[in-house]
Chains A and B, each alone.
Chain A
């Protein structure tokens, strides 16, 4: 492995720039609340290439959703505020666009699916009307054209008897059906980028699988890039090409999905992987990362994962590590990345071994 210890910013090789659809650079988002200032996103940079599915993983409160909402500029303000950084979509900085220009991109070129299909659809409009809305808005379709297109889209996302469903209201549909409506609504304008914020979390397990399957098919048909935000590594393994691991508002690791599962470099990623129950594999005790997410209002010195990290040393508590480029598109934010892997080893070696070190 090449140990090319360069600092944070992504390498801008010509190759990268060509394939890049969205590039987030040093994004900082803060929430100003009664309790204090919450730095939800701290200097986050990642990119999404054309046609790729990028997974963003992390616990709730790690800033993964906030980053995505910043791309759409849907952060509630106040209390939220984007403090700095760039969000380049096809080389345009979204943060410098006017409201009108941004409205043209939202729902048209970048679309979003939300976690709660139960509450994310407007209860007083029919499903059909809600799917037709972006078409009329962005593509200038007439009502009847939009109706036909929406109908077709509903069929495409696997909604049975679409003509009937067009007339129905969200409360008449099941959770899975509503999420399909959400997906239809998001994809109806053929966006270049789809941001899916925990699209399956609120659904039953069987429905989850169906929705993931659907998204895979649609990805092929539409050729869109996807940012898949999830806390479920199973979803990442199933869907994604590359993965960004976030912890406490920072990116701690970026790599290919296969690399992450083979050898995670960051202790947090390692913990995440060891806490997945494996089916059919050797029996072992499930690992649990000790401690809890740090308070968002604390001013931190050093690596914010240090209090929960089994590899933590003095330097970890004193100074926050920079992003280390390991080459081959791998980045990790850790002083001790060379030493990680104990957990994976123990898990492999002793079938009934202790989870914790």
Chain B
């Protein structure tokens, strides 16, 4: 008993959670959504695709807590089922772009020279452009589908990670211990994997957490514009868009919107918390 208590007290993660309320809220929100993603099938009271025109546009009531949409589908069930697509898309986008960006940025920074210049200019080009418009162009050119939208998001997103990774690599490259291992005859690949990667990964993780909320927002925006999965799929952005057409029936748009908001809020809380926690200057002044 006593041991456990001191473990909780000494463990830095728990300490961070204890001192930072917002971080705790963020973790709780994300944990709830994780639970929903896993058990969506059991939690949803109805089939999210089941239409019942006799029950169309029912306001929230006991049978349909969030009401029903224009085709009589239960909104609560759709919001729950939609978590898989919407959160999943955000996660995939962030993870794929993080991996791709780290690889590209890392290699680019490590090799340097003209190759580095060209890669970074291309990245700048992508990120100097409003994300939504670029995504819209690419997605509508390739046809609206979940895969294309995801691909587009990754295309506009990787430069963020490439830049961070590249900066880290260049900084670490000049560090003495890398010099030292080079003197000891370590191969380039070995240096990259053993020395540089572990040093760069922490800042990429922070970026990933902060970006996750933004990725969810971007995906919802694109799916609001009709660039996600085709219609019957329960996607949060598309559901809000559906609600925009049923403007007088507020519940159709409100609940999926709240779902988007809660996830991105949770992600932002966690991102902020981690950043505060990793920033030693801020850490010292918390009291």
Q: Which residues of A contact B (CB under 8 A)?
A: 32-34, 78-79
Q: Say how far A306's CB is from chain B's closest CB, in angstroms.
A: 30
Contact with A along B155-186 (1 / 0, CB 8 A): 00000000000000000000000000000000
> Is there a chain A Cβ closer than 8 Å to B287's Cβ?
yes
B283 closest partner in A (C-beta): A34
Chain B neighbourhood of A32, CB < 8 A: 287
Chain B neighbourhood of A79, CB < 8 A: 285, 287
Task: Return 9 A-B CB contacts under 8 Å, by A number.
Answer: A32-B287, A33-B284, A33-B287, A34-B284, A34-B286, A34-B287, A78-B287, A79-B285, A79-B287
Chain B neighbourhood of A33, CB < 8 A: 284, 287
- Cα-based distance from A347 to B243 in the complex (angstroms): 90
Chain A neighbourhood of B285, CB < 8 A: 79
Q: Say how far B20's CB is from chain A's closest CB, in angstroms.
A: 13
- Extra pairs beyond A34-B286, A34-B287, A79-B285 (5, CB < 8 Å): A32-B287, A33-B287, A34-B284, A78-B287, A79-B287
- Cα-based distance from A325 to B284 in the complex (angstroms): 41
- Cα-based distance from A78 to B286 in the complex (angstroms): 10
- Cα-based distance from A124 to B285 in the complex (angstroms): 26
- Cα-based distance from A132 to B159 in the complex (angstroms): 48
A78 closest partner in B (C-beta): B287
Chain A neighbourhood of B286, CB < 8 A: 34
Q: Say how far A171's CB is from chain B's closest CB, in angstroms.
A: 23
Chain A neighbourhood of B284, CB < 8 A: 33-34
Contact with A along B246-287 (1 / 0, CB 8 A): 000000000000000000000000000000000000001111
Q: Say how far B261's CB is from chain A's closest CB, in angstroms.
A: 33
Summed over the interface, the residue pairs from A and B with CB atoms below 8 Å come to a total of 9
- Cα-based distance from A284 to B201 in the complex (angstroms): 53
Contact with A along B70-101 (1 / 0, CB 8 A): 00000000000000000000000000000000
* Pairs of residues from A and B, 6 with the lowest C-beta to C-beta distance, nearest first: A79-B287, A34-B287, A33-B287, A78-B287, A34-B286, A32-B287
- Cα-based distance from A34 to B16 in the complex (angstroms): 12
A32 closest partner in B (C-beta): B287
B286 closest partner in A (C-beta): A34
- Cα-based distance from A32 to B284 in the complex (angstroms): 12
- Cα-based distance from A79 to B286 in the complex (angstroms): 10
Q: Say how far A260's CB is from chain B's closest CB, in angstroms.
A: 36
Max chain A CB contacts within 10 Å: which of B284, B286, B287? B287
Q: Say how far A119's CB is from chain B's closest CB, in angstroms.
A: 15
- Cα-based distance from A33 to B285 in the complex (angstroms): 8
Max chain B CB contacts within 10 Å: which of A32, A34, A78, A79? A34
Q: Say how far B31's CB is from chain A's closest CB, in angstroms.
A: 27
- Cα-based distance from A311 to B158 in the complex (angstroms): 67
Q: Say how far A35's CB is from chain B's closest CB, in angstroms.
A: 9
- Cα-based distance from A79 to B284 in the complex (angstroms): 11
Chain B neighbourhood of A34, CB < 8 A: 284, 286-287
- Cα-based distance from A34 to B287 in the complex (angstroms): 5
Q: Say how far A125's CB is from chain B's closest CB, in angstroms.
A: 25
Q: Say how far A81's CB is from chain B's closest CB, in angstroms.
A: 12
Q: Say how far A107's CB is from chain B's closest CB, in angstroms.
A: 26
- Cα-based distance from A33 to B284 in the complex (angstroms): 8
Chain A neighbourhood of B287, CB < 8 A: 32-34, 78-79
Q: Say how far B276's CB is from chain A's closest CB, in angstroms.
A: 13
- Cα-based distance from A88 to B287 in the complex (angstroms): 31
Chain B neighbourhood of A78, CB < 8 A: 287
- Cα-based distance from A78 to B285 in the complex (angstroms): 9
- Cα-based distance from A249 to B284 in the complex (angstroms): 22
Q: Say how far A177's CB is from chain B's closest CB, in angstroms.
A: 29
- Cα-based distance from A322 to B188 in the complex (angstroms): 66
Q: Say how far B70's CB is from chain A's closest CB, in angstroms.
A: 55
Q: Say how far A85's CB is from chain B's closest CB, in angstroms.
A: 23
- Cα-based distance from A34 to B285 in the complex (angstroms): 8
Q: Say how far A38's CB is from chain B's closest CB, in angstroms.
A: 11
- Cα-based distance from A268 to B274 in the complex (angstroms): 45
Q: Say how far A346's CB is from chain B's closest CB, in angstroms.
A: 43
A79 closest partner in B (C-beta): B287
A31 closest partner in B (C-beta): B287
- Cα-based distance from A78 to B287 in the complex (angstroms): 8
B residues 113-127 touching A (CB-CB < 8 Å): none
Q: Say how far A31's CB is from chain B's closest CB, in angstroms.
A: 9
- Cα-based distance from A79 to B287 in the complex (angstroms): 8
Q: Say how far B252's CB is from chain A's closest CB, in angstroms.
A: 48
Q: Say how far A297's CB is from chain B's closest CB, in angstroms.
A: 14
- Cα-based distance from A212 to B287 in the complex (angstroms): 40
- Cα-based distance from A270 to B285 in the complex (angstroms): 37
- Cα-based distance from A26 to B286 in the complex (angstroms): 29
- Cα-based distance from A200 to B284 in the complex (angstroms): 28
Q: Say how far B287's CB is from chain A's closest CB, in angstroms.
A: 5
- Cα-based distance from A209 to B286 in the complex (angstroms): 41
Q: Say how far A50's CB is from chain B's closest CB, in angstroms.
A: 40
A76 closest partner in B (C-beta): B285
- Cα-based distance from A34 to B286 in the complex (angstroms): 7
Q: Say how far B17's CB is from chain A's closest CB, in angstroms.
A: 15
Q: Say how far B268's CB is from chain A's closest CB, in angstroms.
A: 25
A34 closest partner in B (C-beta): B287
- Cα-based distance from A237 to B218 in the complex (angstroms): 68
Q: Say how far B16's CB is from chain A's closest CB, in angstroms.
A: 12
- Cα-based distance from A79 to B285 in the complex (angstroms): 8
Q: Say how far A32's CB is from chain B's closest CB, in angstroms.
A: 6
- Cα-based distance from A318 to B166 in the complex (angstroms): 59
Q: Say how far A39's CB is from chain B's closest CB, in angstroms.
A: 16
- Cα-based distance from A11 to B286 in the complex (angstroms): 43
Q: Say how far B113's CB is from chain A's closest CB, in angstroms.
A: 33
Contact with A along B20-54 (1 / 0, CB 8 A): 00000000000000000000000000000000000
- Cα-based distance from A32 to B285 in the complex (angstroms): 10
- Cα-based distance from A304 to B285 in the complex (angstroms): 27
Q: Say how far B212's CB is from chain A's closest CB, in angstroms.
A: 29
